[in-house]
Structure 1
């Protein structure tokens, strides 16, 4: 941290945070601090209410066991009592839910809800999902036959992407690598394999992207079944793929997801909202045995449970963001990072850190490329909520809003500032109102 401070000053910046933010969407330390502090002030009261509710669950459980209750909610208590809350008050059963989301049906239906025009090989389990992007983005996906596809494993499938709205031109290639195997990357992610750009001969080089995941592989008698959070992951990562395939920039440097680090997640986070839209959930679901769509009662539970303890969870994110910014703006050469970490945790997240621990030493983002950038998780989330609820809330299947999203957000890449793209899409300055109302439940 000291060396970062020294390096920033050598480059003419006041501190390391100012150096990092100079090329981010937020631009300045003051903008980030204002953003974080504004959310803290809005979330503190609902966060305290959520903590009291969890304390109540803990008190009841302790009394039932004949154990004393000290009136405290410890950091290791929250996840446990949140699960109890979901099971008792919301009756959310992921094992029941996943029976309605087979990978085969979900992939096809997502394309219908997210709006891409899919043709060819509809029996293939991956094609079905691509139809959700059909109306919104105005694309067409065609599966490349296995004998013609150049892939790195037999499980991998290759798709051509075509424009279906403007000039019917070829847009790029998409790989789907969705099942686990030995030595494979263990998480879900989008990997840009080739950016698009205008070559010296004036022709556009097509982009290539791969979506990698590790969903349960189907068997002869049972399809791959997805939990609701896996459906959300599917929407999210395909959103990154769409950002890559829809981008139209002159230079490769500015293509697709090469936008500012505090904006890159916003387009994909916005697409997650379809996973909580009742009409969309009906559309993408089908019980793997009966073919029946998911019942309204279960949908209501999913939607209702979305914001459970959202204030607590976001206050925790705000704590990390503020600790990160404070650490990288401090002029104190002898700053006690342990005291700073523990003091801020209690003040912002409202839950004390375990005694005699060094939480900052386990905060890997500080040394993992997110220094002075952790705020970006919430920054992009707030803007993704604003985009969705401003343009898609009344009609999640609106091709007009989807086309505008494609033109103003996805196509531009980083050829212009993310804030300018956001303003162009919204038609105004962005706001945190939708995030507070829809994600936190504060009106």
Structure 2
């Protein structure tokens, strides 16, 4: 890999994350004051044109993007509670201001005048014309065609929804579950799991502390032989944040009220107009068809799980009472080991984080014709964070930079995600603003006996999230509004999902999977076994995704708003995913952040976009060769570069040379259906 650590950050690319609470508060006041001045000037135009109305509004979006993103990002990563609190409050204040601004009739009149000037619109290029159309649509969806009283109520709803979403996310970040177990209760976990682990003395017995953060939760759910242990940790996770149940319940009612004010029957109907799917019926037909096909696989897999658990219970002299949600990962992992001789513990030895990260970055360098430079002593928000510059592989053209924040810590965002900290856009002087992205994850830390070791699933997650990073880095649009991942919501995951396939390519795995102590490459036989086990449990795993999508639609495609989020979640999970909940009261939806973080009426998009990702991979990369430089550049040009500046369907057709279909996806999970 060509990444080096030889120089400080490139001039003009550094963002300031060393903000105090006072800095954040001052920035918010300045951002709002500057925006008000821009809006007032635009609204005062007597002869509205693209240049004096649309350009100032879009330029304001360009300018505010980086500062706004840094300010609101810090609530997810800062170790200083005062900064996290200020960041949360800043997001609430800035979001409220944006909502209020989109309700200004004078602004809308100016935008609408430009939109109605067909002669001027026809003279614009495609991206400028799309910009005008999206601004017009945004104002309309903000209620500017409503009467003043209804518009005022819509503004109140939007502000409250923003507050609810921020509170919900903050609760999830800061309220991890924890349990204590003896070594015997954690039988099945490797010795490395206990290295440097916190202990407590409970009733005179030393116990190990296990949290619901991923590096603790997943190994226990996969490896702990005690069903009671798995159940207790699962319950600790699903009984977190009880206050979030009411927040979600309130949000659902408010979303429906807002949709009705705007003339839609349901919130899902309102949301889907702007997606590729367009209608709730399209989504439900998609989910129903997929569920029926997946059940063919899932029923067969379930019988294997049941047979294995019956045997375990018989050996222990205990009654078999069925399969429960806390059994899924354990028996999926156990059967994978038994059938394919694939042990996550064995595989981890060949996935040291340092080498895997470097190897995955190398994959992206080669595919996208880029060059990465690791920055020495970077100005970042925590010592664990790494910063990389991105350059064109040939020549000295700078492209952007990104950050990697990969290890867990207290009060940090506790899943894996990418923040587009600064979008790229064309500046008024003819130059281009360089994009910035930050990946935040929670992979296992090093222990006293071994470096940080990833599961193969972790490596695939890293590939996926880096896909989001480079969607942002490689995008080249005139306006920030369309940069990178600002595509239709049911396409945004497709580029990242497509890159997950590299994690199953033997030739790619051998490039970076090496034993952490001996340096020996991963054995060919282990790679074969790992790939052979790829679709083990695919039916049940994907049914779980269908369940999440159906839950989302059940609470958002309702015309009366009479939903009980907890009851619907628990009932649908049993019905769709085929595992029992048990008789303990839980509220798993209280940590289902997607429902409060922008994926409302959109979770189906994960499976929807899987169809596109599988088609892109099989039809181009698998056919032409994963290392084919022309295919990589076609992908960069037709999928990544346009961002949301054109419809995703256009980008797909140009890359594939035809309309997409689902054949490759069904085949990829073991279903050859004509």
Q: Given the two structures, how large is their TM-score scaled by the length of structure 1? A: 0.85
Match of 1:25 in 2: 276
Residue pair 2:565, 2:589 contacting (<8 A) in 1 also: no
Kindly tell me: are residues 290 and 39 of structure 1, through their superposed partners in 2, closer, same or farther at Cα, counting changes over 3 Å?
A: same
Q: Give the CA deviation at 1:351.
A: 3.9
Q: Give the CA deviation at 1:34.
A: 2.0
Match of 1:411 in 2: 641
Q: Give the CA deviation at 1:186.
A: 4.0
Kindly tell me: are residues 55 and 180 of structure 1, through their superposed partners in 2, closer, same or farther at Cα, counting changes over 3 Å?
A: closer
Kindly tell me: are residues 429 and 225 of structure 1, through their superposed partners in 2, closer, same or farther at Cα, counting changes over 3 Å?
A: same
- 2:80 corresponds to 1:80: no
Kindly tell me: are residues 356 and 132 of structure 1, through their superposed partners in 2, closer, same or farther at Cα, counting changes over 3 Å?
A: closer
Q: Deviations over 1:351-388 (max 9, x none)?
A: 45445857575473444433211212212222222211
Given candidates 627, 652, 658, the residue that maps to 1:422 is: 652
Match of 1:397 in 2: 627
Aligned ranges 1:303-318 → 2 under 5 Å? 303-318=531-546
Partner Cα distance (1:186, 1:367) in 2? 15
Secondary structure of the corresponding residue to residue 349 of structure 2: helix
Kindly tell me: are residues 343 and 221 of structure 1, through their superposed partners in 2, closer, same or farther at Cα, counting changes over 3 Å?
A: closer
- 2:385 corresponds to 1:156: yes
Partner Cα distance (2:564, 2:358) in 1? 53
Given candidates 253, 262, 265, the residue that maps to 2:493 is: 265
Secondary structure of the corresponding residue to residue 390 of structure 2: strand
Given candidates 600, 608, 632, the residue that maps to 1:379 is: 608
Residue pair 2:348, 2:453 contacting (<8 A) in 1 also: yes
Kindly tell me: are residues 196 and 93 of structure 1, through their superposed partners in 2, closer, same or farther at Cα, counting changes over 3 Å?
A: same
Secondary structure of the corresponding residue to residue 438 of structure 2: strand
Kindly tell me: are residues 332 and 415 of structure 1, through their superposed partners in 2, closer, same or farther at Cα, counting changes over 3 Å?
A: same
Partner Cα distance (1:341, 1:193) in 2? 33
- 2:654 corresponds to 1:437: no
Residue pair 1:383, 1:431 contacting (<8 A) in 2 also: yes
Secondary structure of the corresponding residue to residue 391 of structure 1: helix
Q: Deviations over 1:277-301 (max 9, x none)?
A: 1111111122233322101121122
Partner Cα distance (2:254, 2:496) in 1? 35
- 2:330 corresponds to 1:101: no
Residue pair 1:353, 1:359 contacting (<8 A) in 2 also: no
Kindly tell me: are residues 80 and 176 of structure 1, through their superposed partners in 2, closer, same or farther at Cα, counting changes over 3 Å?
A: closer
Which sections of structure 1, spanning at least 5 residues, go unmatched? Answer: 111-129
Given candidates 303, 324, 337, the residue that maps to 1:52 is: 303
Partner Cα distance (1:69, 1:164) in 2? 59
Q: Give the CA deviation at 1:304.
A: 2.0
Match of 2:248 in 1: none
Match of 1:140 in 2: 371
Partner Cα distance (2:308, 2:292) in 1? 26
Q: Give the CA deviation at 1:90.
A: 2.4
Structure 1, 373-382 or 240-249: larger mean CA deviation: 373-382
- 2:638 corresponds to 1:388: no
Structure 1, 170-179 or 295-304: larger mean CA deviation: 170-179
Q: Given the two structures, how large is their TM-score scaled by the length of structure 2? A: 0.58
Kindly tell me: are residues 101 and 342 of structure 1, through their superposed partners in 2, closer, same or farther at Cα, counting changes over 3 Å?
A: closer
Q: Give the CA deviation at 1:414.
A: 0.9
Secondary structure of the corresponding residue to residue 637 of structure 2: helix
Q: Give the CA deviation at 1:340.
A: 5.2
- 2:466 corresponds to 1:238: yes
Given candidates 278, 286, 290, the residue that maps to 2:506 is: 278
Structure 1, 370-379 or 206-215: larger mean CA deviation: 206-215
Kindly tell me: are residues 344 and 194 of structure 1, through their superposed partners in 2, closer, same or farther at Cα, counting changes over 3 Å?
A: closer
Q: Give the CA deviation at 1:155.
A: 4.1
**Which structure has more helix as a fraction of its residues?**
2
Q: Deviations over 1:407-436 (max 9, x none)?
A: 111111111122222222222222222222
Match of 2:212 in 1: none
Q: Deviations over 1:310-338 (max 9, x none)?
A: 11121122122123213322334545666
Q: Deviations over 1:133-152 (max 9, x none)?
A: 12210111223343xx4334
Match of 1:117 in 2: none
Kindly tell me: are residues 67 and 143 of structure 1, through their superposed partners in 2, closer, same or farther at Cα, counting changes over 3 Å?
A: closer
Aligned ranges 1:128-207 → 2 under 5 Å? 130-146=361-377, 149-164=378-393, 169-180=397-408, 184-207=412-435
Q: Deviations over 1:246-281 (max 9, x none)?
A: 000000111112222222222111111111111111
Q: Give the CA deviation at 1:342.
A: 5.7
Q: Give the CA deviation at 1:31.
A: 1.9
Q: Give the CA deviation at 1:153.
A: 4.0
Aligned residues, how many? 420
Query: CA RMSD, aligned part only?
Result: 2.7
Match of 2:68 in 1: none
Kindly tell me: are residues 427 and 85 of structure 1, through their superposed partners in 2, closer, same or farther at Cα, counting changes over 3 Å?
A: same
